Structure 1
């Protein structure tokens, strides 16, 4: 069985968040949704659990970060093409998200990525990588300093 991932995100307005994630291609799974949570299926293996902040708080004693002003995680998701990356960012922006909070990554036809934030500020990074580059794997990165 394939391992599944359930990304749990605290949200201010559950209905607004459901509409946003439906707009970018997720579907709601009503069997695991109620007035406090909604399961949004992004793919066969990626599920987004939208949790109202009071419900989210039942799973942790830590304060909930304001994703508009701080960063804890960047959620990267693969796309089939660079055009799909652009389309996803445009759809996100047109449906209450914010386009390109991070820098665009264009590696000359080998890799391409952009970013968007959902209405609650959660940072997503759709990316496409040339399949041949993926086969070759990572290469050493030259260190970058503030003086560069």
Structure 2
């Protein structure tokens, strides 16, 4: 199974620069002047779409929120280590992301950042066996 997460953006070119800078690969098959797709990992894709184009994909008639003002989603994904989480967040910060404080629960380590449009991402690492038993 694959997953495509779609988020609205105000400037597709800026988003292309941002997500390329954090190390995600542009997927030309799903990229146009209205949006761009990025490979996060095998079977995991992010699609950034200009707001008007994104609105056309949501046919329910719902009002499109502004991710800079309203929390639309927390896009969480696991990485193989704490160091990998820190490295990704460092690249995001260098590319212009706004960062959240670190959440370190011992068995789980999580960081958060907002892209330039305010879409929220939460890379994390967790012990494969989960939290310790009481």
Give TM-score, length-normalised by structure 1. 0.82
Matched, 1:79 2:76: no
2:19 and 2:99 map into 1 onto residues whose CA distance is 15
1:126 and 1:32 map into 2 onto residues whose CA distance is 24
User: What root-mean-square deviation, in Å, do the aligned CA atoms of Structure 1 and Structure 2 show?
Assistant: 1.7
Q: 1:90, 1:99 within 8 Å by CA — same for their partners in 2?
A: no
Structure 1 residue 58, shift from structure 2 partner: 0.8
- The aligned length equals 132
1:69 and 1:22 map into 2 onto residues whose CA distance is 24
Match of residue 28 from structure 2: 30
Structure 1 residue 93, shift from structure 2 partner: 1.1
Match of residue 39 from structure 1: 37
Gaps of at least 5 residues in structure 1 are 141-148
- Local SS of the residue matching 2:41: coil
2:5 and 2:18 map into 1 onto residues whose CA distance is 16
Structure with more of its chain in strand, by fraction: 2
2:102 and 2:68 map into 1 onto residues whose CA distance is 19
Q: Which has the higher contact order (CA 8 A, sep 6+)?
A: 2
- Local SS of the residue matching 1:133: coil
Give TM-score, length-normalised by structure 2. 0.90
- Local SS of the residue matching 1:18: helix
Gaps of at least 5 residues in structure 2 are none
- Local SS of the residue matching 2:8: strand
Q: 2:72, 2:119 within 8 Å by CA — same for their partners in 1?
A: no
